[in-house]
Amino acid sequence: MAYETILYEQDGGVLTITLNRPDKLNAVTDTMLHELRDAFKQAKRDESVRAVILTGAGRGFCAGQDLASVKERDPSAGGFSYGEHLRHTYNPLILQMRELPKPIIAAVNGVAAGAGMSLALACDLRLAADTASFLQAFIKIGLVPDSGSTWFLQRLVGPTRAMELMLRGTRISAQEALDYGILNRVVPADSLMDEARALAAELAAAPTKAIGYIKRLADFAATHTLAETLEYEADMQELAGRTADHAEGLQAFLEKRAPTFQGR
């Protein structure tokens, strides 16, 4: 796929989406938001895509909303206000990522600020270069965390740490983010993409449908009671139990061989 602000590159079952405005630390423009939504739509539609990596070009992962373009918005001339902009752009993108029935790995190569950090938090797994950093930059310009940061962050790091990160906008290192529970792994910067591709390849060979159901279950469990979640687990297990990959997994176990999952 040819886009202006992102790269869309597939290798086997692994799709890599690269935010590609390196001179601006991949700050997010409306074009980028539109292209990301299109890319995730393609990723959902294309059965051959079974895992996605989200990363950034150059020295940054993503510096959040492009602030120069905010300055140019004029609601009195028919442009979006802040709330309208979020509702039309970031909010559907974040939901689209959570609802993608395939794993998304953030390969955080550099600074992730504001909505750029939210994008990383919306992924299913997060690897970061040891040179990466994270900040809830919103407060520094008098805004509030958005694009899901308030929801994701409290669940990942707990309310005490989340509140300090959001109130102070402190920039934390990859190691601190790992210690806080934001990251799955920190790796040397020059091996980040190899590690991300190896993990993505492993997940791309896994039972894709079950991964989609696990994503749904995890998000459901975060906001429902135990009784409701038990019921939803039963629903999802019903669906997983009908997949070809489950049949293959069961058969392979009984035949004492490695399974070959097709993502169906």
- Tell me how far apart the alpha carbons of residues 131 and 111 are, in angstroms, rounded to a whole number: 8
Q: With left for phi above 0 and alpha for psi between -120 and 50, is residue 100 left, alpha or beta?
A: beta
Candidates 219, 215, 126; CA nearest to 177 is: 126
Q: Which stretch binds ligand T3D (CB under 6 A): 39-47, 66-74, 155-163, 175-183?
A: 66-74
Q: Rule CB under 6 A: say whether 82 interacts with ligand T3D.
A: yes
Q: Which stretch binds ligand T3D (CB under 6 A): 79-87, 159-167, 182-190, 193-201?
A: 79-87
- Tell me how far apart the alpha carbons of residues 12 and 49 are, in angstroms, rounded to a whole number: 8
Q: Rule CB under 6 A: say whether 122 interacts with ligand T3D.
A: no
Q: Rule CB under 6 A: say whether 114 interacts with ligand T3D.
A: yes
Q: Rule CB under 6 A: say whether 67 interacts with ligand T3D.
A: yes
Q: Which two tokens stand for residue 33?
A: 């938001």
Contact between 149 and 166 (Cβ < 8 Å): yes
Q: How many residues bind ligand T3D (CB under 6 A)?
A: 22
Q: Which stretch binds ligand T3D (CB under 6 A): 8-16, 108-116, 187-195, 207-215?
A: 108-116
Compute the 3-state secondary structure of the chain and give helix, strand, coil in percent, each to the nearest 5. Answer: 55, 15, 30
Q: Rule CB under 6 A: say whether 136 interacts with ligand T3D.
A: no
Q: Rule CB under 6 A: say whether 107 interacts with ligand T3D.
A: no
Using CB under 6 A as the criterion, which residues of the chain lie in contact with ligand T3D when the complex forms? 24-25, 27, 63-68, 82, 85-86, 111, 113-115, 137-138, 140-141, 143, 146
